[in-house]
Structure 1
Amino acid sequence: MSITLTTWSLEQTAPTDLRPSRTPEGDGLAITRAEVPSAEFSRFLYTAVGGDIRWNDRLGLTYKEWQAIVEKPGAEIWVAYDRGTPAGYVELDPQDDGVVEIVYFGLIAAFRGRGIGGHLLTEGVRRAWDLADRWPGREETKRVWLHTCSLDGPHAMANYERRGFRLYDTKVEEVAESENPGPWPGAYA
């Protein structure tokens, strides 16, 4: 069976494009860079955040392939913690010519709808813009981009636009419908 999938590509071309969100109220929210490259932690975040929204493009990767992703010079994972518990993450992928892609961004289902997503995206975009400050020899960031699709959460596109991202491409295609893997096998059975 196939479904119609719409993919939107969005970008910022200057740090001043970022429109920060408000900081969620309450104590205990922290956003921290995962400085030790860990394939296990990266895969945990990927499945915990994307399992219920059909993220499956990385599920077939080997340990070595996951480790290569997290060890790429300039690649960073920023994690939101709510009172010590991982709530979501932003994964940054440095590319040529001062471009940084936000490859993955999202929250674990239990943390959605609490204002954490706008704050996490704001911090992730700030870290994309100042990536060269942490990576000697890295070219200054000139563009930050991402893509989202019709399978992502219902508030994803609005969050990106509120943070100052502008749409620059739309692609519509028929794709095979994939099974919803959940964060672990049988989680939604």
Structure 2
Amino acid sequence: MMLPDGCSDVPAGKIAAIVTHLEMTTRPALRFDQPRAWSLRRVETPPLDWFRDLYRRVGEEWLWFSRMQMADAELAARLHSPQLEVYALVDNGRDEGLLELDFREPGQCEIGMFGVTAKLVGTGAGRWLMNRALEIAWSRPVARVWLHTCTFDHPAALAFYQRSGFRAFRRQIEITDDPRLDGTAPREVARHVPVIE
């Protein structure tokens, strides 16, 4: 269903975001990243508690909630798929960044999850992690790497992805229940998205 031109009401208890899908179809030149003490660790068969903790620390402020609502069996089936790779950016011995590369679609890599904790925002860690993501993705026989972001995300996210070499190709509006109203996310997070009951 296409929404009509103009404003459309969003029911109380719901949130709405504009989702932008971006892709690259050729391997880009990597942008400069300053050598740091960070390391990238592949997490084979990620423990669900570990994943949910890092997912929350990276994404709670940006209303990442879909994986928090998944039942254990559903989340395990996704994370433990042999075509899905989960990585952690390690800073001083602590996991502070999350990268999920999904190779389940032949010839493609979806960057399903990407981000760093608030501690590392603005330090260059995002650039460093994106360069590692692109190195891994393009080392495989893929013709396309893609991801999506939305207006709940960090305000610099879309421009960051475009600077990384991604090109927007699709836009959607997503309306869903506000996860702060059912306890999936704390009430006080994501103040850039007001709660309307």
Query: Pick from 88, 97, 106: which aligns with 2:115?
Result: 106
Q: Aligned letter for 2:129? A: L
Distance in 2, Cα, partners of 1:171 & 1:91: 22
Quote the RMSD (CA, aligned, Å): 2.5
Identity of aligned pairs, percent?
Answer: 31
1:25 to partner: Cα distance = 4.8
Q: Which residue of the partner structure matches residue 137 of structure 1?
A: none
3-state SS, counterpart of residue 96 of structure 1? coil
**Would you say 1:142 and 2:143 are equivalent positions?**
yes
- Structure 2 runs not aligned, ≥5 long: 1-11, 190-197
Q: Aligned letter for 2:26? A: A
Distance in 2, Cα, partners of 1:88 & 1:163: 17
Moved more, 28-37 or 112-121: 28-37
3-state SS, counterpart of residue 68 of structure 2? coil
Distance in 1, Cα, partners of 2:75 & 2:98: 16
Q: Which residue of the partner structure matches residue 57 of structure 2?
A: 48
1:167 to partner: Cα distance = 0.6
Answer yes or no: is the 8 Å Cα contact 2:58–2:117 preserved in 1: yes
Query: Pick from 3, 6, 10: which aligns with 2:22?
Result: 10
- Structure 1 runs not aligned, ≥5 long: 133-139
Output aligned runs, 1:3-152, within 5 Å.
Answer: 3-15=15-27, 18-26=28-36, 28-130=37-139, 132=140, 140-152=141-153
1:96 to partner: Cα distance = 2.3
Distance in 1, Cα, partners of 2:149 & 2:130: 13
For residues 85-120 of structure 1, give each alpha carbon's deviation from its aligned partner in whole angstroms, at most 9, with x where no partner exists: 112111011132311111110111111111110110
1:21 to partner: Cα distance = 2.9
1:172 to partner: Cα distance = 3.0
3-state SS, counterpart of residue 95 of structure 1? coil
Q: Aligned letter for 2:79? A: V
1:4 to partner: Cα distance = 4.0
Answer yes or no: is the 8 Å Cα contact 1:31–1:79 preserved in 2: yes
1:51 to partner: Cα distance = 1.1
Q: Give TM-score scaled by structure 1 length.
A: 0.82
For residues 102-146 of structure 1, give each alpha carbon's deviation from its aligned partner in whole angstroms, at most 9, with x where no partner exists: 11101111111111101101111221222x4xxxxxxx2111110
Q: Give TM-score scaled by structure 2 length.
A: 0.79
Q: Which residue of the partner structure matches residue 155 of structure 1?
A: 156
Structure showing greater radius of gyration is 2
Answer yes or no: is the 8 Å Cα contact 2:88–2:95 preserved in 1: yes
1:52 to partner: Cα distance = 1.3
For residues 34-75 of structure 1, give each alpha carbon's deviation from its aligned partner in whole angstroms, at most 9, with x where no partner exists: 134322222222111111111111212222222111211121
